[in-house]
Amino acid sequence: MTADQIRSLQPALAALLEYFRPCFTKATTFAHWQRYLLGLLADLKRKSIEPIALAAGVAVRTLQEFLATFEWDHDRVSRLLQQRVMDLHGSDRAIGVIDASGHVKQGKKTPGVQRQWCGEVGKRESCVVGQHLLYSNNDPQNPFSCVLASDLYLPKSWADDRARCRAAGIPDEVVYRPKWRIAIDQVESAIGNGVRFSWITFDEEYGSVPQFWFELDRLGQRGIGEVRSNFPCWPALPYYCSTQRAHASKRVDNVCRYSPVFRDQSWYRITVKDTTRGPAVWELKCGRVHLVDASQEPSRPTDRQYWLIVAHNTQTDEYKYFVSNAAGGANFKQMMTAAFARWHVEMWFERAKQETGFGAFEVRTYTGLIRHWLCSRMAMFFLAEQTERLRGEKSADHIGTGGRGSQRPGHSDLEPQLAFAD
């Protein structure tokens, strides 16, 4: 945003931040929070602490301490943000999207940094990985998305070195948790805070973990997500006999290829407009299967049935495999709408990195990192609110030819959609 745009929006930002004032015990700390948010919204080449401090006219060290050591309840800020999202944008068709985001970082002192898979560059790289939960109202006419939770993925190499953790300000209670476990904790916390999701969706890193599905079942939360082609399942619940090959678990790709339920089924065709790449035609088949409970010795099929869906892209000849814990009478179109909704979080990450410095953190403490991500999320929420206001003004005034949703501060006017055609 330009300096003039920032000045024009300061009253609206100040009004929003008043909702969160109880989280701050000192007025000076609250003022620093506003300065930091304005810096994240400003038209700066890099939205890290030093350029933000220089633009705000405060000492660099002051903003460093604001993130790392000043007393303010960032956990409460995050909870209040979730509640505000539900108050203003709660929807009975909302979708939660689980995803991780890697940020290339060098050195050894940034919390959680190590050589690991980084989606930002599509390869293993020295990076920090965050685990995130996004809320989307799933409304094509008035789209709204907001990341509700962000946590650091702490690799085992860090978790096993508590001296290194303490040097980076990582509390002793923060230990290694696989990404799927962090995601479940985020979903459970959000639900406990009043957030409601019609569906949760995710990629194969989460979907290919049977325990992840069992935890969603425990929460009573519907989910649909990709699984790897070699993900094991039972095409039918047999009389259990570990010595009979016919009763052994099978890869989902082979189940979809050879099982009579799938083999004799006609393809169901849908058209998906995926982000700005244009429509893509997918053919679908579905059936009921049982997952493998590896906690049993020997492993055995679950009593509960799950959906298995195979999706074939007719243009690229790509195959995807999805599992869902939805009930037998679930609406198939709604299910697949959720399955193809991960673009919400991908676009949010892209915009947040470009517009509110989501990946521009230069901190050496755990608290500083979590607070930076929170401030970036708050700035994105504010942008979304202003977008909603501009949509309403443009719709009311009937000016131009763009119609509703044609103006977005700092955004392209291209909005991804997902539509179905029988």
Both 174 and 38 in a single domain? yes
pLDDT in tens, the chain (422 residues): 666 766 778 889 999 999 999 999 999 999 999 999 999 999 898 999 999 999 899 999 999 999 999 999 999 999 999 999 999 999 999 999 999 999 999 888 999 999 999 988 889 999 999 999 999 999 888 889 999 999 999 999 999 999 999 999 999 999 999 999 999 999 999 999 999 999 999 999 999 999 999 999 999 999 999 999 999 998 876 544 444 444 567 899 999 999 988 989 999 998 876 655 667 889 999 999 999 987 776 678 888 999 999 999 988 999 999 999 999 877 888 888 899 998 899 999 999 999 999 999 889 999 999 999 999 999 999 999 887 776 656 555 544 444 333 333 333 332 333 333 33
φ and ψ at 82, to 5 degrees?
-60, -45
Phi-psi region of 349 (alpha: psi -120 to 50; beta: other; left: phi over 0): alpha
Give the chain's largest Cα–Cα span: 74
**What is the pLDDT at residue 392?**
59
Q: Kindly state whether residue 420 falls inside one of the protein's structural domains.
A: no
In the numeric block, which tokens belong to residue 132?
Answer: 């995130």
Both 147 and 173 in a single domain? yes
> Positive or negative, the Cα torsion across 147, 392, 278, 89?
positive
Both 249 and 381 in a single domain? no
Q: Kindly state whether residue 406 falls inside one of the protein's structural domains.
A: no
Return d(Cα 6, Cα 40) in angstroms, integer.
Answer: 11
Q: Kindly state whether residue 422 falls inside one of the protein's structural domains.
A: no
Both 47 and 151 in a single domain? yes
Both 150 and 14 in a single domain? yes
User: Where a domain ends, among 307, 322, 339?
Assistant: 339
Both 60 and 135 in a single domain? yes
Both 175 and 55 in a single domain? yes
Return d(Cα 262, Cα 77) in angstroms, integer.
Answer: 48
Using DSSP, state whether 101 is helix, strand or coil.
strand
User: Where a domain ends, among 315, 339, 363?
Assistant: 339
Both 26 and 89 in a single domain? yes
Return d(Cα 82, Cα 76) in angstroms, integer.
Answer: 10
**What is the pLDDT at residue 408?**
36
Using DSSP, state whether 371 is helix, strand or coil.
helix
Return d(Cα 101, Cα 132) in angstroms, integer.
Answer: 8
Q: Kindly state whether residue 417 falls inside one of the protein's structural domains.
A: no
Both 220 and 282 in a single domain? yes
Q: What's the total number of domains in the chain?
A: 2
Q: Kindly state whether residue 90 falls inside one of the protein's structural domains.
A: yes
Both 215 and 319 in a single domain? yes
* Residue 156: HSE in the Cβ half-sphere, 13 Å Cα cutoff: 1
Both 170 and 28 in a single domain? yes
**What is the pLDDT at residue 300?**
80
In the numeric block, which tokens belong to residue 6?
Answer: 């920032």
Q: Kindly state whether residue 268 falls inside one of the protein's structural domains.
A: yes
Q: Kindly state whether residue 178 falls inside one of the protein's structural domains.
A: yes
Q: Kindly state whether residue 296 falls inside one of the protein's structural domains.
A: yes
Both 133 and 270 in a single domain? no
What does pTM read for this prediction? 0.89
R_g over Cα of the chain: 23
| Structural domain span for residue 285 | 204-339
Alpha helices in 59-176 (DSSP H): 60-68, 74-89, 156-159, 162-167
